[in-house]
Structure 1
């Protein structure tokens, strides 16, 4: 056996085994996209979330290695152009933690960022930054080593500036006040399915609906929840027809009645009764090898953020337009 492992046949077999997935990835990467794609160069392999900042004509992206950057889109942009990522934030006191879900708070000219210890689950926080100066406005610790394991994953902002941060590990939602003060935790038995394996990735994408409530997705079950906020939070399971939302990640409102659930595939969900019930009305399958993690809306069109960048030394990332069918 030892002699075979050192033989030419073994190395040839190893080469063949490794060549197949590499060839498959190359074929996926070189395939002509069916929709519009923004490409950009980055110094990092992983970009968890990206949002379009229409006022400043830029995509803002969260760095999995920690930090925030921007991709400026010039007025004379050409589809053949590969854009460049510019780092904006890198906090030394958050070293070792990932920047994950982000939300633009336009009325207050700030960006909110969910921060988490991805592999140890011993630290979660919410950071806020000024969109002009990029000074940090506050950093609110949500959990630490002495607390239950947690994973701050995504964030939404209500009309008053309160933030709601999902915990993808412990199936809860933290509420943080407009000035960064910790306020409360939203829990519900509906958030925790009985099967242990369905809790491996729990509450994930979250949005604030302009009519005054939250919508949040549970990744492994695909359950979609409506949460009435106020003096008493009321959690309801949204009945979804037309398929499953399992492994849904970030979510984004396309309109008050249409919700995009990023994933593989990405699904378009519609509701006509204030999200008491909903129906999957469209799907889009983008570059699966890059892993779709978040959605954003630019000029009425949906663009999908993908986790993985490819290439060396510059990693090329993409925002892919989703056209549903």
Structure 2
């Protein structure tokens, strides 16, 4: 062996190419960093420290003057408080972790203010897709009111979001089975709303994530979005009949919903959108768009003091505590649907 003397020497052309490649990668890294920094700067709203990479849903609890966030791997609910100065609200505090759902993930949640309770959706940790449940807990004491299993034996499901009507009935979406579970105010199962109309387009890409965000409209129906297909449905919870809202503009990748008024709907997602209807949601138009920190993935919407806030599912950071963002959304008006 002749050691290092036999190593092939790089020619001047190869060295030049290597320097050029290094320069390109360095520029790309700087551009990527600048883009991320810009997107982070567009968030506004609330930033806070919390455990875990993912927080699926956050809702404003007006009575408690706090945000309540579901913790994906913690499987419970955390509160976020603060004066909001500079957008920093300190660290989350876990207020509820139900031992009977340990090892599951907490996803959608709804503050049912008239009954002073919080509804929390539970599902299996992917890649398992079987367990599905809804829990209800008293605001303040966090005493459990009920925990109801939703899945049938051997069924593949992914319970996702929840809404409550004026009587306290709850509705939970199954994003895998494209159906809606209905429960009584006491948590008793009342049936399932399932209809072939929920699947408007065939193929795995159009149905990777099915029914997702759901809200109850004061006129007595549900509005539900299909994430992959981008369709919005108007559902009669009493009869199970439904129609497809004729939406001008795209709602693809739409996630959590928040009804701002009888005629205005916020749709969290990539990007988040403002949707309006003048005919009781027979038709609608996308009238605004909010991008914000899109790399964090908008996943739910809520209203605080008249402003829309978008929770972002992905946290960032190298330590145990990650930085999470609930951004104040300023929707850019759209001259035409897109």
TM-score (norm 2): 0.86
Moved more, 89-98 or 297-306: 89-98
- Report what 1:245 is aligned to: 251
Instruction: Indicate the residue corresponding to 1:6 in structure 2.
Output: none
CA-atom RMSD in angstroms: 2.5
* 2:167 match: 160
Residue 317 of structure 2 corresponds to: 311
CA distance in structure 2 between the aligned counterparts of 1:186 and 1:22, rounded to whole angstroms: 49
Paired with 1:184 and 1:99, the residues of 2 have a C-alpha distance of 22
From 79, 87, 103, give the equivalent of 1:70.
79
Structure 2 CA distance, aligned partners of 1:151 and 1:173? 11
Gap regions ≥5 residues in structure 2: 1-6, 8-14, 333-338
Q: Secondary structure at the match of 1:259?
A: strand
Q: Does 1:214 align with 2:229?
A: no
Partner of residue 54, structure 1: 62
Measure the CA separation in 2 of the matches of 1:15 and 1:142: 54
Cα shift readout 1:180-221 (whole Å, capped 9, x = no counterpart) = 101100011111235131221100000001111100000011
Change (3 A) 1:163 1:80: closer
Q: How many angstroms does 1:35 deviate by?
A: 5.6
Q: Choose 1 or 2 for highest CA Rg.
A: 2
Shift of 1:17: 10
Count residues in correspondence.
313
Could you list the per-position Cα deviations for residues 16-42 of structure 1 after superposition, in whole angstroms to 9, with x for gaps in the alignment?
999788656643443362463211011
Aligned residues of 1:25 and 1:289 also touching (Cα < 8 A)? no
Counterparts in 2 of 1:236-315, with a 5 A limit? 236-241=243-248, 243-313=249-319, 314-315=321-322
Contact 1:240 1:277 in 2 (8 A): yes
TM-score by length of structure 1 reads: 0.90
* From 180, 183, 186, the counterpart of 1:176: 183
* Aligned counterpart for 1:105 among listed residues 74, 88, 112: 112
Between the aligned partners of 1:25 and 1:129, the Cα distance in structure 2 is: 43
